[in-house]
Structure 1
């Protein structure tokens, strides 16, 4: 994992994002935010499990499905299965040590 700081690469309204092998943060101070870093590490694991490109294809498709479902961008984003897993477990700093392979599947709901 390589941490890069860029207020320009991270979309407005977000503090960070992950594009394997990079963790992009909006500001240098966020490097100390262990919960945010853990959230993004969960996404790194998800991306590796899906061999990176399929992760992004599924992520975008699921976002648009959720957008049709909720008609609200924030709710659509929060209900993407990858995000649901990351948000639910971001405070558990030991989560990745015990996380089962492809655990995000349990967070799909249609």
Structure 2
């Protein structure tokens, strides 16, 4: 070992750190449902898209909360709505409508994340 315990611990934390959020990929996924040239997925693809959108929300929510989004009234409302949409399933709305609602939450949380990331 060439470093001190403090150096080694710092390197371990860097290795465990999650990569930054890929907002561009999240927005790209949303465009499949909400974009001006939306090409709605077939029934077999909707389940995969729902899983992808749920994954995006599960990454965005803790990041926003860590950035202080829970203390920001607008971000807190978006986080709360995303939690409600994650806890519910397609139910009577059907899978396509559920996917669209999840996509809208991704759009909102991406916007809050970008706003909070650049604010002092």
- Work out whether the TM-score is over 0.5: no
Compare relative contact order (CA 8 Å, sep 6+) and give the higher one, 1 or 2: 2
Greater share of strand:
1
Larger Rg: 2
Give me the TM-score of the superposition, normalised by structure 2. Answer: 0.28
